[in-house]
């Protein structure tokens, strides 16, 4: 995948003019705006249909610039930034004056990361400032991992879509609250808990609910149109066939242990055995089953280790109660 430098220049120009750019990152595509332009940031919330109290992540081009955006950089945050940036780790720190409250949903903290994608880094370098970017999907739905997903979901609401191919990691960044002495995980993601603990040399708390507003922690987030039902791996085939018999159009996430099993259902996705491949494919699988017209998806949770922790977190949110229920 090659992106022309003229596209990078055009995207940087759109950001400078207060427009919105969809940009590839290693995790998912972001819907980017100049973080220092409150009107552009307001448009991000409007296009996503996201309540203005839900804070955005500020993307920057280098760990060396972190001090420009936050009040102070505690030693632990410095260690994590040096080890994991560029990469799928977001650090929550005290907000510096350059970050308007519009971007943080009124919070005195700000979430910052350096994405590990050549196109995103080229854009950040050409633009020179910070880019506030939530995932480029409507509030509550599945994050996009290709430029086509973004176009299909947001269409003309975005001024420019930078195509950087399929996202390598496939699930969002890990969010770590690094404001205090003891860092904690607010959202599991592309950097694993085990990798963080190895660097910190101690166990890390993972909060399933958080004091701060983390929309990813609400019920029914990362959700396809189809209802998602989670069962034990050995019950997936039987549950799927029963629901299909009862008249549902069933999509199946067939666990790796059952690969090759013929399932009497509407559509089947064979879940990859490698957690990296599963994470990379997850949102595309959910979208595919929606496109096939499934109204019910039967899946099971992977073992919650490594990337399995983030995958299980997203599947639980996808299966959470819908606003209408
Ligand atoms: O991988 C990612 O993180 C992607 C790519 C585009 O970078 N972005 C992403 O953004 O997932 P979004 O807006 O979909 O999720 C950002 C999460 C939200 O759950 C938000 O509440 C949390 O970050 N967040 C942002 N600022 C925060 C803060 N100051 N304190 C706690 N959580 C914060
Ligand atoms: Mg999101």
Residue 131 has pLDDT above 80, yes or no: yes
Domain identity same for 95 and 189: yes
Q: Is 153 in the pocket of ligand 1 (CB under 6 A)?
A: no
Edge-to-edge strand ranges of the sheet holding 89-94: 160-161, 21-23, 30-34, 131-132, 57-59, 109-113, 89-94, 174-177, 184-187, 205-206
Instruction: Scan for tokens 């997903």, then name that residue.
Output: 149
Number of structural domains (the chain) is 2
Q: Is 107 in the pocket of ligand 1 (CB under 6 A)?
A: yes
Q: Is 104 in the pocket of ligand 1 (CB under 6 A)?
A: yes
Backbone angles phi, psi at 235, to 5 degrees: -105, -5
Q: Is 110 in the pocket of ligand 1 (CB under 6 A)?
A: yes
Q: Which of 165, 120, 124, 126 is nearest to 23 (CA)?
A: 120
List beta partners, residue 141: 223
Domain contains 103: yes
Residue 215 has pLDDT above 90, yes or no: no
Where a domain ends, among 200, 217, 239? 200
Distance 137 CA to ligand 2 centre (A): 7
Distance 55 CA to ligand 1 centre (A): 7
Ligand 1 atom with least separation from CA of 210? 31
Sign of the C-alpha dihedral computed for residues 293, 296, 298 and 301 taken in this order: positive
Domain identity same for 159 and 47: yes
Residue 323 has pLDDT above 80, yes or no: no
pLDDT digits (tens, 9 = 90+) for 9-22: 999 999 999 999 99
Residue nearest to atom 13 of ligand 1 (CA): 134
Residue nearest to atom 3 of ligand 1 (CA): 173
Mean pLDDT (the chain) is 94
Residue 277 is part of which domain span? 227-318
Pick from 23, 134, 149 the residue to mutate for probing ligand 1's pocket: most ligand atoms within 8 Å of its CB: 134
Do 282 and 171 form a contact (C-beta atoms < 8 A)?
A: yes
Domain identity same for 78 and 135: yes
Domain contains 196: yes
Residue nearest to atom 19 of ligand 1 (CA): 214
Ligand 1 atom with least separation from CA of 109? 29
What's residue 221's pLDDT?
86
What's residue 208's pLDDT?
60
Do 281 and 146 form a contact (C-beta atoms < 8 A)?
A: no
Domain contains 285: yes
Ligand sitting nearest the alpha carbon of 172: 1
| CB atoms closer than 10 angstroms to residue 46 | 12
Residue nearest to atom 10 of ligand 1 (CA): 134
Domain identity same for 164 and 276: no
Domain contains 222: no
| CB atoms closer than 10 angstroms to residue 166 | 16
pLDDT digits (tens, 9 = 90+) for 180-199: 888 999 999 999 999 999 99
Residue nearest to atom 31 of ligand 1 (CA): 212
Domain identity same for 175 and 268: no
User: What is the mean predicted confidence (pLDDT) over 84-103?
Assistant: 98
What's residue 324's pLDDT?
54
What CATH number did the domain enclosing 290 receive?
A: 3.40.50.11030
Domain identity same for 39 and 126: yes
Domain identity same for 191 and 232: no
Q: Which of 254, 264, 269 is nearest to 300 (CA)?
A: 254
Domain contains 30: yes
Q: Give me the DSSP letters along 3-58.
A: --HHHHHHHHHHHHTT--EEE--SSS-EEEEETT-HHHHHHHHHHHT--TTSPPEE
Residue 6 has pLDDT above 60, yes or no: yes
Ligand sitting nearest the alpha carbon of 164: 1
What's residue 67's pLDDT?
97
What CATH number did the domain enclosing 40 receive?
A: 3.90.870.10
What's residue 220's pLDDT?
77
pLDDT digits (tens, 9 = 90+) for 227-269: 999 999 999 999 999 999 999 999 999 999 999 999 999 999 9
Q: Is 28 in the pocket of ligand 1 (CB under 6 A)?
A: yes
**Can you tell me the distance from the alpha carbon of 32 to that of 24, in angstroms, rounded to the nearest whole number?**
10
Q: Is 121 left (phi over 0), alpha (psi -120 to 50) or beta?
A: alpha
Distance 285 CA to ligand 1 centre (A): 22
pLDDT digits (tens, 9 = 90+) for 285-314: 999 999 999 999 999 999 999 999 999 999
Edge-to-edge strand ranges of the sheet holding 296-299: 227-230, 296-299, 250-254, 267-270
Q: Is 172 in the pocket of ligand 1 (CB under 6 A)?
A: yes
Domain identity same for 181 and 235: no
Domain identity same for 231 and 194: no
Domain identity same for 16 and 101: yes
What's residue 124's pLDDT?
98
């Amino acid at each position: 995948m090659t992106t022309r430098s003229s596209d990078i220049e055009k995207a940087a120009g759109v950001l400078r003019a207060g427009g919105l750019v969809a940009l590839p990152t290693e995790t998912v595509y972001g819907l980017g705006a100049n973080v220092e332009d409150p009107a552009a940031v307001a448009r991000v919330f409007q296009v996503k249909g996201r309540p203005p109290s839900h804070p955005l992540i500020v993307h920057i081009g280098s760990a060396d610039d972190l001090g420009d955006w936050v009040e102070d950089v505690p030693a632990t945050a410095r260690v994590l930034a040096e080890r994991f940036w560029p990469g799928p780790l977001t650090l929550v720190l005290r907000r510096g004056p350059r970050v308007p409250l519009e971007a943080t949903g009124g919070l005195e903290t700000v979430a910052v990361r350096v994405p590990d994608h050549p196109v995103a880094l080229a854009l950040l370098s050409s633009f020179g400032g910070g880019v506030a970017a939530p995932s480029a999907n409507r509030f509550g739905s599945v994050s996009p991992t290709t430029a086509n997903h973004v176009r299909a979901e947001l269409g003309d609401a975005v001024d420019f879509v930078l195509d950087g191919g399929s996202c390598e990691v496939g699930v969002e960044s890990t969010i770590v609250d690094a404001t205090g002495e003891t860092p904690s995980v607010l959202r599991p993601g592309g950097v694993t808990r085990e990798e963080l603990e190895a660097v910190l040399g101690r166990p890390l708390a993972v909060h399933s609910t958080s004091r701060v507003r983390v929309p990813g922690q609400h019920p029914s987030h990362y959700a396809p149109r189809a209802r998602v039902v989670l069962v034990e791996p050995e019950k997936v085939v039987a549950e799927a066939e029963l629901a299909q018999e009862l008249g549902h159009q069933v999509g199946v996430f067939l666990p790796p242990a059952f690969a090759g099993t013929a399932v009497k259902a509407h559509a089947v996705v064979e879940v990859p055995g490698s957690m990296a491949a599963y994470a990379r494919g997850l949102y595309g699988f959910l979208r595919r089953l929606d496109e096939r017209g499934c109204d019910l998806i039967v899946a099971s949770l992977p073992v919650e280790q490594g990337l399995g922790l983030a995958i299980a977190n997203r599947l639980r949110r996808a299966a959470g109660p819908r606003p209408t229920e």
